[in-house]
Structure 1
Amino acid sequence: MSTNSIKREMTLGKYIAIKRQEKGLSQRELAKDTKVSHSTISRIEKDDGISPDNATLKALATRLGLDYNYLLALNNSIDDEPEIRVIQRAAKKMTDEEKDRMLQILKLSFKDLFEEDEDVE
């Protein structure tokens, strides 16, 4: 199986579960640390039809040291705009190095739009 097909199969729930386990946290610990209920964490990780709000995603990203925008993309929260879908499709084909380069270009081109997100990285 290729790396691209693996990446396409990644869901928000699977990603959160993997990253939580890598940090050695239980669902209860993550829930306590993020002030999100244990049942919500469990449902997110099971991909149980729950679409976490942006505050929940930001809390999870902060606690787990993840890219908030990547969580948004996995959650399909930002794919309702055609321009964003184009960027997402391109990003799926890129290597990590190319994604980093694209983000650098966007940040340099639109510095004022990225200032508030600096603490997420």
Structure 2
Amino acid sequence: MDDYLKKQMGQRIKEERLNLDLSQDALAEKLGMKRANVSNYEAGRVVPPGNILLEMSKIFNVSTDYLLCKTDTPNSDIESSLDDDIRTIQRGYRRMTNKDRKKMMNIIKVTFEEAFNEDEFEDDDEDI
């Protein structure tokens, strides 16, 4: 990786850390390393090893490709996976009877309510 990309990558790591309002010490603790390592990554002096990049992507909720400056979309892997899931649901929805569609929507609503502890999914819309 050339020096320019190392600097860009370091800048992304720093931006994501600051977006979460984490200090270098706090990120280092989450990654099980010393603050100096995080400082070196952010300065573009050192490229994090694969296992650290993967852990950072989980902490920051971005793709490894984003951290590696291969894409400008932070969640490209996550969005792609979500798109696949939505397409699968849509295909199944089209083949279901109205009764089965209502069952599916009830399952989704209950799951969201439990996951997010919110009641915003209780409307009677049948839009998907």
TM-score after normalising by structure 1: 0.51
Instruction: Provide the C-alpha distance between the structure 2 equivalents of 1:57 and 1:25, rounded to a whole number of angstroms.
Output: 17
The two structures, once aligned, show a CA RMSD in angstroms of 2.9
What is the aligned length? Answer: 75
Amino acid at match of 1:33: K
Aligned twin of 1:30: 27
Instruction: Provide the C-alpha distance between the structure 2 equivalents of 1:103 and 1:28, rounded to a whole number of angstroms.
Output: 32
**Residue in structure 1 matching 2:63, options 64, 67, 81:** 67
Percent sequence identity over aligned pairs: 20
Q: Identify which of structures 1 and 2 has the higher relative contact order when contacts are C-alpha pairs closer than 8 Å and 6+ apart.
A: 1
Q: CA deviation at 1:103?
A: 4.2
Unpaired runs of 5+ residues, structure 1, are 1-7, 75-87, 109-121
Unpaired runs of 5+ residues, structure 2, are 86-128
Instruction: Provide the C-alpha distance between the structure 1 equivalents of 2:34 and 2:58, rounded to a whole number of angstroms.
Output: 16
Native 8 Å contact 1:34 1:63 kept in 2: no
Q: Which has the larger radius of gyration?
A: 2
TM-score after normalising by structure 2: 0.48
